[in-house]
Amino acid sequence: MGHYKSNLRDIEFNLFELLDRARIFGTQPYPDLDLDTAKFILREVDRLAREDLAESFEEADRNPPVYDPQTRTVKVTPAFAATYKTWMEAEWWRLRVLPELGGTAAPSSLNWALAELVQGANPALWTYVGIPTAARVIYRHGTERDKRIAQIAVDNHWGATMLLTEPDAGSDVGAGRTKATPNDDGTWNIYGVKRFITAGEHDLADNILHMVLARPVGVEGAGGPGTKGLSLFLVPKYHFDLETGELTGERNGAFATNVEKKMGMNVSTTCEMTLGEDIPARGWLLGETHDGIAQMFDVIEDARMMVGSKAIATLSSGYLNALEYAKQRVQGADLAQMSDKAAPRVTITHHPDIRRSLLTQKAYAEGLRSLILYTAAWQDEVAIRTAAGEDASLAEAVNDLLLPIVKGYGSERSWVLLGTESLQTFGGSGYLREYPIEQYVRDAKIDTVYEGTTAIQSQDLFFRKVVRDRGRALNHVLGEVKALAGEPSADLGVEHELLGRAVADIEAIVEKMTADFAAARDEAERIYQVGLNATRFLYALGDVVVAWLLLRSAHIALRALESDPHSADEQFYRGKVAAARFFAREVLPAVTAQREAALRVDNFVMELDEAAF
Ligand code: ST9
């Protein structure tokens, strides 16, 4: 048996019972994908993930890619190369490719459900299959020439990367110094060093298309300071014929000059890329417009979703591995017989703290899955409304609001719980390489860091998704939460009350942060108080949205149990109710504590002399 334990039943519950996705298949803009086919794909990818894609998980970790500084090339271990080939040949990745480029239009919700299965089985695999996203962004923003490049890249299964980060420009992308100068033939030469570039060099694909942020020099109206002065260039590893797509055999000047040694995600190459050092690095300006950061954010939004999806995929498998272990591991007597030294030993699932831990893992894993698929359902809504020529602005705003929660809150909760609960359930064995959990913990830590750290997600959430949006999306979501909290419920009355209180807590935190933000106009230092509360707000809002989704799920489960109390799904539904009840009772009261802490925030932390730290 492989390491990966998927939860297809819960994925289907979310898609078809909670989010009512069945109704969107076979209709615009997904006319070619009916519901039966979608369900078949889910089952097929689930099987493929568990039986095939998971196979190289451990070997690829123990045998990281080998970098040769002479040739500046990388060889990926054959076991992982075989996994990559299996996924590419299965062709399911084409569900993410635009129909204009030969793909099949599929709802985001289906695609992110599939992403969970793939990333749960082999978390690094997705980082090598960036081309559907890259091609979509290139097609959307590009000229006819760029659209052709996107087509060539898809047809030839090229790799794709995003080159933002530099040694002195991490979170602060606008500090980037990579430069671009125009050539007479319409191409550009790029010069600079990029760092932490995922899949920057490897031997899995014939070519790699780098999406590079660089600052044009000597060009009127472009190249100013900060992110707004950056433009986006398409820079291939190998030159190719724009007509036929065939590689010319000529190497372009974008080379990996180092591959990092890391804590986890070992098979995913993290490269230093040097451009234009010994031979020119030539590329094209995407869309012939100097709008690089906005274009790149089209990629980043997808990648942030990807990171959240990877994190929860790992947490879910971590939980299910821990559950299996706990059901078999005999240790200690039942607590109720603790004074009887001769009492029979029991499996650890009998112990209260293990039950607390397992339900914590279950509630978060399932709640975070709901959060991701709920977000994806808003992405479906954007596509459906746009195709119908209707206003999609609310759907866009809600998706934007949820993205930093998916990425920031999702990755933090997953990484922490994998360490404190999933690994802990195994006791000392969790620390051993014999079980997959230690690798899960190592592989998951990066999720809180790359694609914008948690601090960046918190700031994005408050400044951009709440303040700049004037609270429209937040009020919409909180309005839905309040509506459920206000409904009387015989079964979940206490939980509704707790949810109602937690929404009020969120509103109080937002009020305090908004007041500080407004006061900062006259008193600049007041903005520090917003900064001090930003991560707290991200986590608290995440907990409230997850509690709401779990409670909605619990109501569906209660209705199902009422209509057929002894169905094959009885325990599944009872588990849904238990997860919601547990989460509301255990987690939501902590939101009240966060409110108290948030309201007390002043500037003393900022005024402390550095020497006192
Ligand atoms: C990385 C790689 O970490 C991780 C690898 C993951 C695996 C990837 C897969 C393999 C690669 C494949 C590549 C291709 C395909 C990808 C497929 C993925 C599956 N929403 O607030 P301002 C824009 S990479 C939308 O003033 P500052 C907007 O245009 C490194 N747009 O910011 C805005 O203008 P306006 C990851 C946004 O103060 C403009 O930016 N690095 C958003 O200038 C300026 O905004 C990071 O993620 C948004 N949320 O700059 C960087 N925010 O306002 C983290 C901004 O007019 N740092 N824009 O609309 C940040 O995000 C900073 O906040 C900052 C600040 C750079 C934006």
**Helical ranges in 275-334 per DSSP H:** 292-328
For residues 56 and 319, give the distance between their C-alpha atoms in angstroms, rounded to a whole number.
Answer: 21
Angstrom distances, CA of residue 125 to CA of 76, 361, 515, 604: 12, 25, 44, 45
> What's the gap in Å between 297 CA and the centre of ligand 1?
5
Task: CATH number of the domain at 58, please.
Answer: 2.40.110.20
Ligand 1 pocket: which of 140, 215, 291, 297 to mutate (most atoms within 8 A of CB): 297
63-72: average pLDDT: 97
Ligand 1 pocket: which of 166, 298, 300, 305 to mutate (most atoms within 8 A of CB): 300
Q: Could you tell me if residue 149 is inside a domain?
A: yes
| Residue 26 φ/ψ region, left for φ over 0, alpha for ψ in the -120 to 50 degree band, beta for the rest | left
Strands 159-163 and 208-216: parallel
The pLDDT of residue 20: 98
In this structure, which residue's CA is closest to atom 57 in ligand 1? 171
> What's the gap in Å between 142 CA and the centre of ligand 1?
19
218-238: average pLDDT: 95
The pLDDT of residue 40: 98
> What's the gap in Å between 461 CA and the centre of ligand 1?
13
428-441: average pLDDT: 97
Q: Among 256, 272, 290, where does a domain finish?
A: 290
Atom of ligand 1 nearest to the CA of 307: 6
> What's the gap in Å between 265 CA and the centre of ligand 1?
22
Domains: count for the chain: 2
Q: Annotated catalytic sites, by residue?
A: 451
- The one-character DSSP state at 446 is G
Q: Could you tell me if residue 593 is inside a domain?
A: yes
Rg (CA), the chain: 25
Q: Could you tell me if residue 165 is inside a domain?
A: yes
| pLDDT of residue 544 exceeding 90 | yes
Give the tokens for residue 609. Answer: 């002399």
| Helix 437-445 and helix 292-328, axial crossing angle in degrees, nearest 10 | 160
In this structure, which residue's CA is closest to atom 53 in ligand 1? 464
In this structure, which residue's CA is closest to atom 61 in ligand 1? 452
| pLDDT of residue 34 exceeding 80 | yes
> What's the gap in Å between 293 CA and the centre of ligand 1?
7
Q: Could you tell me if residue 476 is inside a domain?
A: yes
For residues 274 and 255, give the distance between their C-alpha atoms in angstroms, rounded to a whole number.
Answer: 5
| pLDDT of residue 303 exceeding 80 | yes
In this structure, which residue's CA is closest to atom 26 in ligand 1? 227
Q: Among 259, 290, 321, where does a domain finish?
A: 290
The amino acid present at 229, given as its one-letter code, is G
Atom of ligand 1 nearest to the CA of 291: 29
Where in the sequence is the domain holding 464, given as residue range(s)?
Answer: 453-608
Ligand 1: which residues within 6 Å by Cβ? 126-127, 130, 133-134, 160-162, 164-165, 171, 173-174, 198-199, 211, 226-227, 293-294, 297, 299-303, 306, 450-452, 456, 460, 464
Question: What proportion of the chain, given as a percentage, has pLDDT over 70?
Answer: 100
| pLDDT of residue 1 exceeding 90 | no
Write down the mean pLDDT value for the chain.
98
Q: Could you tell me if residue 578 is inside a domain?
A: yes
> What's the gap in Å between 97 CA and the centre of ligand 1?
22
Atom of ligand 1 nearest to the CA of 463: 21
| pLDDT of residue 81 exceeding 80 | yes
Ligand 1 pocket: which of 451, 468, 527, 538 to mutate (most atoms within 8 A of CB): 451
Atom of ligand 1 nearest to the CA of 298: 25
Q: Could you tell me if residue 574 is inside a domain?
A: yes
pLDDT tens across 5-29, in order?
999 999 999 999 999 999 999 999 9
**Helical ranges in 405-471 per DSSP H:** 410-417, 424-425, 437-445, 454-459
64-79: average pLDDT: 98
In this structure, which residue's CA is closest to atom 44 in ligand 1? 227
Atom of ligand 1 nearest to the CA of 306: 19
Q: Cβ(126)–Cβ(159) under 8 Å?
A: no
In this structure, which residue's CA is closest to atom 66 in ligand 1? 173
Q: Cβ(553)–Cβ(18) under 8 Å?
A: yes
pLDDT tens across 254-283, in order?
999 999 999 999 999 999 999 999 999 999
In this structure, which residue's CA is closest to atom 18 in ligand 1? 303
pLDDT tens across 150-177, in order?
999 999 999 999 999 999 999 999 999 9
Q: Among 290, 317, 343, where does a domain finish?
A: 290
The amino acid present at 509, given as its one-letter code, is I
3-class DSSP string for 94-137: HHHCCHHHCCCCCCHHHHHHHHHHHHHHCCCHHHHCCHHHHHHH
Q: Could you tell me if residue 538 is inside a domain?
A: yes
> What's the gap in Å between 456 CA and the centre of ligand 1?
10
pLDDT tens across 356-410, in order?
999 999 999 999 999 999 999 999 999 999 999 999 999 999 999 999 999 999 9
Atom of ligand 1 nearest to the CA of 301: 20
Q: Could you tell me if residue 232 is inside a domain?
A: yes
259 burial via Cβ count (<10 Å: 0-12, 13-18, 19+)? buried
pLDDT band at 221 (very low <50, low <70, confident <90, very high): confident
In this structure, which residue's CA is closest to atom 48 in ligand 1? 297
> What's the gap in Å between 446 CA and the centre of ligand 1?
17
pLDDT tens across 545-572, in order?
999 999 999 999 999 999 999 999 999 9
